[in-house]
Amino acid sequence: MPIEGKTVAITGAGRGIGRATALHLAARGARLVLGARSEMELAAVADEIVSSGGEAVFHITDVVNRSDLEALVALACERFGRLDVIVNNAGIGPLSRFDSLRVDDWDAMIDVNLRGALYGIGAALPVFDRQQQGHVVNVVSTAGLKIVPTMGVYAATKNALRTATEALRQESGAHLRITEVSPGFIDTGFADASITDPQIRAAIVRRKEELAISPDAIARAIAFAIEQPDDVEVGSIVVRPTAQD
Ligand SMILES: NC(=O)c1ccc[n+]([C@@H]2O[C@H](COP(=O)([O-])OP(=O)(O)OC[C@H]3O[C@@H](n4cnc5c(N)ncnc54)[C@H](OP(=O)(O)O)[C@@H]3O)[C@@H](O)[C@H]2O)c1
């Protein structure tokens, strides 16, 4: 069981896709290092894992702070002796039209979705280099594959991360695996958590209720990438509802 015994750090692990991935990997024997800003949510996920016989620790992490990612990776090394996988999953999507000029939301998406993932990569690479083994999983989005109105800046941050992921893949040698995962509409609180425009939020929530699929689908996709043999790199996975256009 290649997932068993692996140490996996996940950002945005308190709810949604991050939580589902943490629970799925823990059930398959991985040791989890959970990061997000909400201590209550992180503690609940860690408790759920530990009370089911798994192993999990958490660190309050705001991915806009480089030092928080360094501390998350350091926690993995202290508690479990190594880090096998970092899942850069934390993300926000305060969607809006450009002419509503929600410039602070644009900045926040760049900071969390792009800069935050880059900080995760930067924190993990020295450990992966030392171990001569590691795996970076970046959560992007189908919003970057089919570009639609209101998702311009969000899609731009996800596609910037996609571009960086491909360059990292080419730079990385035989010891490092790089995976990008593009979820479609997933049934999480993502829209409620971050969309500040009430009309757009209502439209996205309606769409989600029509067709969204469980975050477990993304957890299984991430597990698939991790469980491959070390010389097999799953580069890109797109998982969307069958009904999504
Ligand atoms: N749901 C979808 O339909 C969908 C589709 C495509 C891609 N995605 C991507 O999937 C990822 C997860 O989304 P989700 O649907 O699971 O969203 P979610 O339910 O809103 O969960 C987001 C997670 O990220 C954390 N987070 C947000 N800002 C953070 C920050 N600055 N630092 C650290 N953690 C932060 C949140 O915790 P705190 O608020 O406590 O920090 C939470 O744990 C995101 O990257 C998103 O862009 C989602």
Quick: pLDDT tens for 76-86.
999 999 999 99
Domain assignment present for residue 245? The answer is no
Residues 35-53 have pLDDT tens digits of 999 999 999 999 999 999 9
Q: Does 1 score more than 60 pLDDT?
A: no
Return the percentage of the chain with pLDDT > 90, whole number: 97
Q: Pocket around ligand 1: residues whose beta carbon is below 6 Å from it? A: 11-12, 14-18, 36-38, 41, 61-64, 89-93, 112, 139, 141, 183, 185-186, 188-190, 193
| Residue from 80, 119, 154, 190 carrying the catalytic annotation | 154
Three-state SS at 149: coil
Domain membership flag for residue 2 = no
User: Are residues 135 and 222 in contact, defined by beta-carbon separation less than 8 angstroms?
Assistant: no
pLDDT of 238: 98
Take atom 41 of ligand 1 and give the residue whose Cα is closest.
37
Look-up of token digits 């990061």: 35
Q: What is the mean pLDDT of the chain?
A: 97
Give the pLDDT band (50/70/90) at residue 100: very high
Residue 119 among the catalytic residues: no
**Residue range(s) defining the domain that contains residue 77:** 7-238
CATH number of the domain residue 21 falls in: 3.40.50.720
Q: Does 244 fall in a domain?
A: no
Burial (0-12, 13-18, 19+ Cβ within 10 Å), 111: middle
Beta bridge partners of 180: 138, 236
Q: In total, how many domains does the chain have? A: 1
pTM above 0.95, yes or no: yes
pLDDT in tens, 196-221: 899 999 999 999 999 999 999 999 99
Q: Whose CA is nearest to atom 30 of ligand 1?
A: 62
